[in-house]
Amino acid sequence: MSELLQFTFSGLTVGAVYALVALGFTIIYNASGVVNFAQGEFVMLGGMITVFAHAAGAPLPAAAALAVVATAAIGILLNKLAIERARGASVVTLIIITIGASIFLRGAAQLGFDKQLHRFPSFSGDDPIAIAGATILPQSLWMLFGAAVVFAALYLFFTRSLTGKAVLATANNKLAAQLVGIDTDFVMALSFGLSAAIGALAGVLATPITLTSYDAGTALALKGFAAAMLGGMGNPFGALVGGLLVGLIEATTAGYLSSDYKDAAAFVVILAVLFAMPQGLFGKSAQERV
Amino acid sequence: MRPLFAKPISAKQATLLVLLLLIAVAPAFFPSNFYYRVGTLIFINGLAVTGLVVLIGYAGQISLGHAGFAGLGAYACALGPVHLGLPPALSLVLGAVLSGLLAWLVGRPILRLKGHYLAIATLGFGVLVSMVLANEAWLTGGPDGMAVADLGLRGLLKSAGIKVGNAELWYWLAGLILLAGAWLALNLKDSPSGRALRSLHDSEVAARTVGVDVARYKLSAFVISAVYASVSGSLLALTNRFVTPDIANFLHSIELVTMTVLGGAGTVIGAATGALLLTALPQVLTALQEYEHIVFGLIMMLVMIFLPDGLLPSLHRLLRRRVS
């Protein structure tokens, strides 16, 4: 029993990161219809910028804040310089543009930083906390707490603020949103900035446990994309559930079956879910218009 | 007597002619054997990409997992001679048949999905194949890879009195196979089946309305492209005489799709251009050392932003506008 609890803890910890990455995918997808494969690089940048700012003498909170702001700026630039200019291009074209962006950012990180594995100290020490025969790291609690705060804040943002509702309106129907006077270019920029910031925050929270390096983004993007699709693309709640599920599936597979196949298990489940529910768990079904 | 070139040659003949000329003339400019090797890699990638033209360009479906089929083809050539006693050439055929069969099995449920859902499902399939190849070390040698038997063609030619260098031989062999693959894909394009396939690209609903069996045509495009990818994987394993699970991984899938779209997914010649560029470019960019990835990513983005239909179709349109 305590074994299962242990796997649940570690599953929820990685699941929280996947959920944040999936949330980043969701926000950009809703605003622009683009699946941003550079989402994993935002997480990497969040971790790496914090590491180097901290090493340069900045206190950890300041380094983390700098990382989030800088990454958000990179996200906005990505939108301005690449996505906005390719408006109206096909799905495959847009996927390749963001893959190009992810290769570019990886190369830039390798050049600007280095090729080593890095970490910085946990926020509240590394002494595991014992709960019912299992243990959990204080940093894991920080990760779960951080993810919970982000999801709650976004929920309030989308339901209570006028700007949040403008984002939802743009996601729903861009042309109609423009007609009622919503600045959809601003919404696009906001979405990229927001999702880059969320990715960077995930990187800041996870790096003390998972470590980071210039090429850490690809695997995270794959898992986050999978989590978003599992939940149903475009649904923030689906991103949360999908992320936590992928984390839990991985942790229990690694614990009970084989750690070699922990990455496979998530994809097996996703294929099974998509066969039964082609729109993911919480996705809306769409009809092709002629 | 009918004068030569009285009527303009068809796009199919033009494509084959251009490919043939390029393959035949290029070696005249090769300063060293190394260029034969790069040429071979271009043709092998070109073959997989030609298969993707059928899937992406004609049928309008996407796959982020075709490296999985390349992996199957490659490991068929590695394992066939060792475990089944098959000659490498027959192993290649066996790999192609297995890939086609697997694509047929997986394709039925997967191809009901659309857009990004199809992308993640094919991606998951590719990840699973590469993981099995990496983890089942008792069979595949695991991440370290395994040696691949010699094709034996060079020995055969030698006994017939023809002496040819290994790099050159592979250049001509891969070139010939690419030509054959391009010829098949081009024939498909203008056949009734090809027209049905291309009708899917524009609108599935419209295609269904005029009586196209949408599911069947999608599935056949998927199977055809899987066979192309498998043969390309087999050739890569045979020419390298070595194979690792990397051949099946996600990045290789992405590479193949990028080649297809970058050059222009709608036509064989466009996609072949993509294969040429993206295979040759890294060889050139290694000179830039640590700037390699930055420049590579930048080129990918710039081409797709400014020439969203791909290199060749966009250039073609540009030229036509100049002329008229």
Q: Say if A126 falls within a structural domain.
A: yes
B20 touches chain A (CB under 8 A): no
Of A91, A96, A267, the CB nearest to B124: A267
Q: What is the 3-state secondary structure (H, E, C) of A167-178?
A: HHHHHHCHHHHH
- Give B-chain residues touching A267 at CB under 8 angstroms: 124, 127-128
Residue B3 DSSP class = P
Which pLDDT belongs to residue B109? 87
Domain B11-26+33-323, CATH class in plain words: mainly alpha
Q: Say if A283 falls within a structural domain.
A: no
B139 touches chain A (CB under 8 A): no
- Give B-chain residues touching A111 at CB under 8 angstroms: 290-291, 294
**Mean pLDDT estimate for chain B:** 88
Whether residues A96 and B258 touch (CB distance < 8 A) is answered with yes
Burial B220-243 (b: 16+ CB within 10 A, else e): bbbbbbbbbbbbbbbbbbbbbeeb
Which pLDDT belongs to residue B30? 86
A249 touches chain B (CB under 8 A): no
Residue in this structure with the two tokens 């006693």, named with its chain if needed: B85
- Residue predicted with more confidence, B163 or B269: B269
Segment B88-112 shows an average pLDDT of 93
Which pLDDT belongs to residue A235? 85
Q: Domain of residue A226: give its range.
A: 2-276
Segment B262-273 shows an average pLDDT of 86
ipTM comes to 0.85
B182 touches chain A (CB under 8 A): no
Is the CB of residue B276 less than 8 Å from the CB of residue B42?
A: yes
A33: domain CATH number is 1.10.3470
Residues 237-296 of B with CB under 8 A from A: 250-251, 254, 257-258, 261-262, 265, 290-296
Burial B285-295 (b: 16+ CB within 10 A, else e): beeeeeebbbb
Residue B8 pLDDT greater than 80, yes or no: no
Which pLDDT belongs to residue A288? 47
Q: Indicate the SS3 state at residue B146.
A: strand
Residue in this structure with the two tokens 């984390």, named with its chain if needed: A247
The letter for the amino acid at A72 is A
**B297 Cα to chain A: minimum distance (Å):** 4
Domain ranges of chain B: 11-26+33-323
B142 touches chain A (CB under 8 A): no
Whether residues B294 and A108 touch (CB distance < 8 A) is answered with yes
For B11-59, the pLDDT digits (tens) are: 888 889 889 999 988 888 888 888 999 999 999 999 999 999 999 988 8
The letter for the amino acid at A261 is Y
Which pLDDT belongs to residue B178? 95
Q: Say if A131 falls within a structural domain.
A: yes
Segment A138-165 shows an average pLDDT of 92
Among A142-146, B123-127, B210-214, B247-251, the range with the most confident prediction by mean pLDDT is: A142-146
Q: Say if A261 falls within a structural domain.
A: yes
Q: Say if A284 falls within a structural domain.
A: no
Domain count, chain A: 1
Residue in this structure with the two tokens 């900045």, named with its chain if needed: A58
Which pLDDT belongs to residue A290? 44
To 5 degrees, how large is the angle CA A26–CA A188–CA A88? 90
pLDDT band for position B319 (cuts 50, 70, 90) = confident
Residue A61 pLDDT greater than 50, yes or no: yes
Residue B2 pLDDT greater than 70, yes or no: no
Residue B27 DSSP class = G
Residue A284 pLDDT greater than 70, yes or no: no
C-alpha distances in Å from residue B185, one per residue of B9, B230, B231: 18, 16, 14
For A92-139, the pLDDT digits (tens) are: 788 889 989 999 999 999 999 988 999 898 888 888 888 888 888 999
Question: E strands within B109-159?
Answer: 146-147
A261 touches chain B (CB under 8 A): yes
Whether residues B297 and A104 touch (CB distance < 8 A) is answered with yes
Residue A274 pLDDT greater than 90, yes or no: no
Which pLDDT belongs to residue A71? 97
Report the distance separating Cα A36 and Cα B44, nearest Å: 30
Segment B269-298 shows an average pLDDT of 85
